[in-house]
A and B are shown apart, each in its own frame.
Chain A
Amino acid sequence: MKSIRNIVQVFPITIIVLLNYYIYANDFSATAILDSMLFAMRPISSVGTIEQQIISSGNIKRVFTFEYFSDNKGENVLIRYIEPRKVKNNAFLIKNSGNDIWVYFPRTRRVRKLASHAKKQKAQGSDFSYEDFSGNESLERDYHVNRVESGERETYLLIFTRKENAGVAYERQEIYVDKRNYYPQRIQYFQDDIHIKTLTFKDVVGLQGFPTAQYMIMENHIENSKTQMQILEMKYNVIFEAGFFSERNLKK
């Protein structure tokens, strides 16, 4: 009876030790971690309202609010601004993971297709570019991925190096992935070997089974500015009607 009690006492400790080993010591490949991260980050579709605070290097704050619609794991994204009045109903549609961008200006009711070089431009003056808004498919398509030691107990570090002739703005991305949920803790962006931006994910909560950062903060180290995006509302796995991600709906 005593031996059974001992086993019962030791069993949880054994489980914790094994889990600990599984979480911290198992040497996953870079590809396996990337797959897990993309699975955690990419619900099929989502609808939400997001508040965006831009804080400039001169500590001047601008607040924007927009509706966010995403489909096909971020391949198609539609963003429509609600506030401030200056940009009310301005909208942009991003398809094919950022390769096709259309912008809509309500005062002229004109839709304009932007060339892909425009994806490097700041979206509404924020520290996020149009490319940052598009899905993460390009991580698999346009970059070579390697895993290196992060030097941190709770994260994996994946290094993404741009493939030759890939049409993406960042030369290198370093993603620190949380070992507990495979959600990124932060992403560091490099151009010409200079660390230009860092995106930090904060207050990660589970929402419909998907880890969701309530706050995403993009710091621009070149301009000393930062943009914080706060999720006000978010719903996953929404079914959109056919033609939702189209020029017609952009004008609505």
Chain B
Amino acid sequence: MTWFIFFLPMIAAAQVDMYGYYESEYDYMQFHESNYNYGYNKLRLDLESRPSDQVMIAGNINFKLYNGKTEWDIFDFFTIDTVEFNGEEITSFPISFLDVIYLDNIYIRTTFSKFDLTIGRQPLSLGTGYAWNPLDIFNRKELIDPTYEQPSINALRLEIPLQDRTLLDAIILPDSTWEMSTKMIQLKTGLGSFDISFNGAYQHQLVPNAEAGYTYDQIYSAGGAFVGEFWEFGFWGETLWPLDVDDDFGEIVLGTDHTLDNGLYFMCEYFHNSLGADEDDLQFDHYIYNYSGATHSLMKNYIFAMGMFKVTDYIYNSMVVFGNLDDKSYMLAPQIDWEVFEDVMVGIWLSQSIGDEDTEFGIQNRAVRFRIRAYF
């Protein structure tokens, strides 16, 4: 909230554009032969002011009230029942969802003749992937809803346009010391019908360790991304690999998409994370690293595919399939999105797992999600 207090006088003094949305979600989930209901009501209020052509101040306040089941034991979602910690057996790890009011974005963007500077909690979204973004060391996506807005990141971002399609992008996430601060630099340019980027990062990252299995260390990474097309098929790819670690590991995503003449759109993405667990070596730590966002997946190899077409006016139907290729568990998720009014969207999503009970997605059985969002 400190950021908000700092910027509040500036927002109050300038002419502020206020907008946002109300969102209500209801979820029903069936797993372990039990049924659960849960959901939330959320109000997001965006504030945006442009005191001059060169300055934009933006922020948003979120109110989120949970309902239904709000106490969970995350062991229920794991395929392992117990873990030993300091000689003690742990069989549960409860988490609660409490009602919250929080400030997500709050940043100032200034445009100079040679560069743009953005300071504050801001949306950061890097990479060309749809369901996974190895280059996005700041965020983690949900496979059931990869395009949902991500929490903002407290950062300083400098964007310097060099040529028509060439942009140098430097991002710093300040931490307690300069050493601990995460840094990312990206050079993005165009080559024919392709956009390509070269990336370098320095961050406090999870790395394999011969004795402890995993540990954290400050490391340099290099990577890149591309997006373009061949023969009317869109192609993209993205990767990030550490430079100075003995055990070679990293992430890579490759994807393709196409739209048929009748408007049917389909896409497919493959993801490999060499830091993920092997199927026969899945441990509690892997779950923790995955849930905390330290890694972008639980195991090593994944697939995501989607087909989308228009059913009737303002109703779109999608069929999403994603899965873990290592333990051969998949989720089949038909989705319907209906634009009820100009500013009101309704979504109904079903999901059915395929796979054994002791697999990543097979454990979840089936679920229904209803979401309504009204913009104002």
Measured CB to CB, the residues of A under 8 A from B are 56-58, 60, 62-63, 84-86, 88, 99-100, 107-110, 112-118, 120-122, 125, 167, 169, 191-192, 223, 225, 243, 246-248, 252
**Of the residues B159, B161, B188, B257, contact of A243 by C-beta under 8 Å:** B161
Contact B159 A86 (CB under 8 A): no
Q: How many residues of B contact A (CB 8 A)?
A: 44
| Residue ID in chain B nearest A106 by CB atoms | B123
| Residue ID in chain B nearest A102 by CB atoms | B195
What 0/1 readout, one digit per residue, does chain B (164-204) give for beta carbons within 8 Å of chain A? Answer: 11010000000000000000000010100101000000000
- Cα distance A84–B128 in the bound complex, in angstroms: 27
**Of the residues A58, A115, A192, contact of B232 by C-beta under 8 Å:** A115
Residue B343, interface by CB 8 Å: yes
Contact B313 A57 (CB under 8 A): yes
Q: Kindly provide the distance from the CB of B118 to the nearest chain A CB, expressed in whole angstroms.
A: 9
Residue B268, interface by CB 8 Å: no
- Cα distance A88–B259 in the bound complex, in angstroms: 26
- List the 6 shortest-distance A-B pairs measured between CB atoms, nearest first: A115-B234, A56-B313, A115-B229, A85-B375, A110-B125, A109-B123
Contact A115 B228 (CB under 8 A): yes
Give the residue among A60, A62, A113, A246 with the most B Cβ atoms within 10 A: A113
**Of the residues B56, B123, B339, contact of A107 by C-beta under 8 Å:** B123
**Of the residues B167, B193, B263, B342, contact of A121 by C-beta under 8 Å:** B263
- Cα distance A121–B234 in the bound complex, in angstroms: 14
- Cα distance A122–B313 in the bound complex, in angstroms: 12
Main secondary structure of the interface of B (DSSP, over half): strand
Residues in B whose Cβ lies below 8 Å from that of A88: 19
Contact B259 A121 (CB under 8 A): yes
Contact A125 B339 (CB under 8 A): yes
Contact A86 B342 (CB under 8 A): yes
What 0/1 readout, one digit per residue, does chain B (206-234) give for beta carbons within 8 Å of chain A? Answer: 00000000000000000000011100111
Residue B64, interface by CB 8 Å: no
Residues in B whose Cβ lies below 8 Å from that of A85: 19, 21, 343, 375-376
Query: Can you give 22 contacting A-B residue pairs, CB < 8 Å?
Result: A56-B314, A58-B312, A58-B313, A60-B313, A62-B314, A84-B342, A84-B343, A108-B149, A109-B125, A110-B123, A112-B128, A113-B228, A115-B229, A116-B193, A117-B257, A118-B234, A122-B263, A125-B339, A191-B261, A192-B261, A246-B161, A247-B188
Residues in A whose Cβ lies below 8 Å from that of B56: 252
What 0/1 readout, one digit per residue, does chain B (105-129) give for beta carbons within 8 Å of chain A? Answer: 0000001000010000011110010
